[in-house]
């Protein structure tokens, strides 16, 4: 659910069935990386994820648009996706 990045610790992926579970994971991750910059890429359509990120002091520094060509795959409910793995992972 996290990895080192070239510029910061990176939270994700995180798929959860509740906001409380995600909050617990984020509290652990931020505590583990308290002295580091942390990145968290999320889906802006998941309002709970956005509000949770703001509560933890995150601010938007970029906005990305994912595009695909061809048949899309079945994905988990976007409201359960609290952090993506990163665009480099597809």
For residue 11, the enclosing domain spans 2-62+76-89
**68 in a structural domain:** no
How high is the pLDDT of residue 87?
A: 63
- pLDDT one digit per residue (tens) for the chain, 90 residues: 788 888 999 999 999 989 999 999 999 999 999 999 999 998 888 999 999 999 999 999 988 777 777 776 666 677 888 888 866 665
pLDDT at res. 24: 95
pLDDT of residue 51: 95
In a domain, 70, yes or no: no
Cα distance between residue 55 and residue 53, in whole Å: 5
Strands 14-15 and 81-83: antiparallel
Per-residue confidence (pLDDT) for residue 69, from 0 to 100 = 78
Residue 51 maps to a domain: yes
pLDDT at 74: 62
Give the H or E element holding residue 14.
strand 14-15
- Whether 47 is covered by a domain: the verdict is yes
Give domain status of residue 32, yes or no: yes
Residue 71: inside a domain, yes or no? no
Q: How far apart are CA 19 and CA 21, in angstroms?
A: 5
pLDDT score at 78: 77
* Count of structural domains, the chain: 1
């Amino acid at each position: 659910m996290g990895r080192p990045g070239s510029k910061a610790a990176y939270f994700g992926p995180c798929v959860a069935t509740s906001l409380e579970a995600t909050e617990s994971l984020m509290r652990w991750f931020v505590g583990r990386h308290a002295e580091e910059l942390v990145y968290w890429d999320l889906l802006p359509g998941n309002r709970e994820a956005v509000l949770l990120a703001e509560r933890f002091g995150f601010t938007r520094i970029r906005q990305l648009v994912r595009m695909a060509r061809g048949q899309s795959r079945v994905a988990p409910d976007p409201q359960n996706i609290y952090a993506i793995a990163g665009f480099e992972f597809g």
